[in-house]
Copies of this chain bind each other. A is one copy, B any other.
C-alpha cells in the first residue's frame, strides 16, 4: 500500500483471458479504450485524490457534477445514486486506524469499469483488490459481481466491531453490577451510546442500498447474483438488529446504574444511622455521670469509673449487635 500513497491513482485491467495488467497514473488516459474492449474490466482505485486527480477522474469517467461535489465534500450518507450511464455507491468500512473508526468509500460503476475512491485505509476492500489483481477472486468481468465482493467485504468489517461493542457493554454491565457507579463508567456509557448511534446512522442507509439493489430498481444485479445480494441484505439486517439489542441493553445498564446508586445510598444511610446511634449512647452515659447532683451513688463507688466505662462498652456492643441483627451495619 506504500507505493499507492506515492501515486494515489492505480488502474488494474483484467483482460478476458484472466491476465491482469497494472496501469500507472501516467497512463490513465488509456482507460476508456481498455474498458471499451468486450470482456475487459478496468478497476481504478484512488486514495485521497487531490483536486487535480478528481478532475482527471471526472474527465476520464465523465462523472456527474453532483458525484464530483460529493468527492470534494465527503461525509456522505451511504446511498446508491443512478446517473445516466453510471451508478455511484457510498459505503463505509469499519477501520480502527481512522479517527472516527469509519473509512468512507465511493464506488462508481460503468460499462466495463469500476472506480473506488477512499481517503483512509480500508483493509478488507484492499484485500478484494489484491485478489482481483491476483485473479484469485470469484468475480469474472462483471461489475455487479465485483460490487457484491466489495460490499460484502465492507459489511464483514462490522462483525468484529459488533463483538467489540458487545464486550464493552458486558464489561459495563459487570462494573455496574459490582457496584461501580463512578464517572468513568458513565463516560464509557456515553461513548458506547455515541458509537451505536453513529453505526446505526451509517448502517440503516446501507441496508436501504442493499434493498434497492435487491429489488432491482437499478439494472446492476442479474438474477444469478440475487441470492448474493439477499445474503448481503440479511447480514446488514442482522447487524442492525444487533445494534438495537445493544442499544436496549445499554439503556438498561444506565437504568441499573441509577438503582445501584440508590442501593449504595441506602447502605450509607443505614451505616450513618448506626454510627450515630452507637456513638451517641456512650456519650449520653458519660453525660449522665457528669451531672453534678449531690447524691449520685455510683460516683462514690470504688469501681464506679470502670463500671461506667464497662457500661459504655456494653451499650456499644449491644447497639452494634442490634444493628447487625437488622442488617444495618
A-side residues, CB < 8 A to B, are 64, 66, 76-77, 79, 81-83, 173, 177, 179, 181-183, 186-187, 189-190, 193-194, 197-198, 201, 204-205, 227-228, 230-231, 234, 237-238, 241-242, 245, 248-249, 252-266, 268-273, 275-277, 279-284, 286-302, 304-305, 308-309, 312
Contacts and interface: CB of A to CB of B under 8 A. Distances in A.
Number of copies: 5
A298 B309 contact: no
Contact of A268 (B258, B261, B270, B292): B270
Nearest to A231: B66
B197 A260 contact: no
Contacts of A66: 227-228, 231
Contact of A275 (B273, B282, B288, B290): B273
A296 B198 CA distance: 72
A132 to B, nearest CB: 18
Main SS at interface, chain A:
helix
Contacts of A255: 254, 258
B284 A289 contact: no
Contact of A269 (B76, B83, B234, B265): B265
